[in-house]
A = this chain, B = another copy of it.
Amino acid sequence: MGRPREFDIDQALERAMRVFWARGYEGSSLAELTSAMGITKTSMYAAFGNKEQLFRKALQRYGAGPAAYATRALEEPTARAVASAFLRGAVRTTTPPGGPSGCLTVQGALASSDETQAVHDLLVDWRNDAGVRLEERFRRAVNEGDLPRDADPRRLARFIMTMGFGIAVQAANGLGPAELDEIVDTALLGWPA
């Protein structure tokens, strides 16, 4: 039906994701986005709707790609292994050799002007969801006796999430994976049991 699109929609989305990752939502202009995607504004609007929807799809891709470590970590056998895998995944993702430093979901829109509020809220939910999944995993660990009975899963999950966010900022600050791994080691010193 009709003229087929001349660009690879997947590759274009990947490139848009990287721009958002490096520049944040507000800092990414349509000009830079479409230039990186190798298409014109018109094609972008036809394929993705508008800037906000492009960001939403880029965020989905981020969750399924670079941030998939967060979901994979939940499958580790013990709570400690989950925490460790989560944080080390965060380290690797926020310091990719050839890509932008930091975390898309943190740099995307931490502060919010009126018009970016929707995106801001979207990211708040995204980050909170990640924390909830971690909390549920730790709750399971308590039930399974993997964590002490008096351990507080919510508290532990919030602690790990806090470390993850902090790692994202440190990565944006210029710290490399080796230094961040040391920080993770330090953070896990007080881990229960």
Residues in A lying within 8 Å of B, measured CB to CB: 21-24, 26-29, 32, 102, 106-108, 110-113, 116, 124, 127-128, 152, 155-156, 158-159, 161-170, 172-175, 179, 182-183, 186-192
Contacts and interface: CB of A to CB of B under 8 A. Distances in A.
Number of copies: 2
B124 A173 contact: yes
Chain A residues touching B, majority SS = helix
A162 B167 contact: yes
Nearest to A108: B111
A128 B170 CA distance: 9
A155 to B, nearest CB: 5
Contacts of A152: 182
A134 B23 CA distance: 29
Contacts of A187: 159, 162, 187, 190
A116 B22 CA distance: 12
A163 B167 CA distance: 9
Given A161-B166, A163-B162, A191-B190, A173 B113 contact: no
